[in-house]
Amino acid sequence: MKKSVCISLTVLALLAFGSYGFAQTAYEVAKAEHDVRMEKTSSCTIEVTLTDKNGKTRTREIVSYTMKDGTTDKTVMVFKTPKDVAGVSYLSFDYPDKADGTVAESDSWLYLPAMKKVRRISGSNKDDDFQGTDFSYDDLGTRSLAKDEFTLLGEETVNGTACWILEAKAKDPKAKISRRVLWISKENNVSQKSEYYDKQNRLVKTLSCDVIEQINGYWSTTKMTMTNVQTNHSTVYEMKNLQYDVPVDKSYFTVSALERGQVK
């Protein structure tokens, strides 16, 4: 009897240790993916291709700049073509998590030249589609690690790359995307693909990272496809002339710069 009790206690101890270690590992995988690039600045042109359920395509062009200002990650994106969206601009400030581990909500603004008005993007709108694409506002920035609970679901090889399968469950019960599943490379911590699920645990959209390459020593996804499986609509983002750690005009990262059409 004593031997059985000892064995049972040992098994319980191992299970407890294993689940704790597994949770820690899941967070470490998430943080490694979160911190995969630490550049001070970046700039690129994004070629956007939208394809509807009938196969009809539309193209757009965006210029994008990022800058790390202290601990704040700043991003500005401006549509250049076609004419009906030219000048539409998006500015976002992503802050590090607070010292107590809670979320520091990002600040985001959208400028619509037709209305000559800047609209603040609130937290409840971050899961909305970005200007008719299949990417949400939340997809465009650096998502806070404090917004999710992480679990490792296993391992799998994607396109010849050994990956961790990481589940990220949103802590906010009101989030439109309740959980994401990411396949993250064990070699370079870059996400290879992702799945997005709604509150009813229905698959909403998938992200395929089509081209991953090293640029100036940074692993970069230069082509990606987001597909909404419910509407059969997809968006391809292809980064052109991507540069890191080059001078970027700090004045671009202001609301007034959006209003003046200053970002080139």
Question: Looking at beta carbons, which pairs linking 171-175 to residues 24 or more positions away fall under 8 Å?
Answer: 171/146, 171/147, 172/147, 173/199, 174/124, 175/127, 175/199
Q: Which residue has the tokens 């404090």?
A: 146
pLDDT digits (tens, 9 = 90+) for 231-240: 999 999 999 9
Asked if 141 contacts 153 with a C-beta cutoff of 8 angstroms, the reply is no
- Along the 264 residues of the chain, how does pLDDT read in single tens digits? 433 433 333 333 333 333 334 434 899 999 999 998 889 999 999 999 999 999 999 999 999 999 999 999 999 999 999 999 999 999 999 998 888 888 888 999 999 999 999 999 987 788 899 999 999 999 998 889 999 999 999 999 999 999 999 999 999 999 999 999 999 999 999 999 999 999 999 999 999 999 999 999 999 999 999 999 999 999 999 999 999 999 999 999 999 999 999 998
pLDDT digits (tens, 9 = 90+) for 208-244: 999 999 999 999 999 999 999 999 999 999 999 999 9
What is d(CA 217, CA 180) in angstroms, rounded to the nearest whole number? Answer: 28
Structure tokens at 173: 């019960």
Nearest-5° Cα angle at 80, 261 to 56:
150
What is d(CA 167, CA 152) in angstroms, rounded to the nearest whole number? Answer: 6
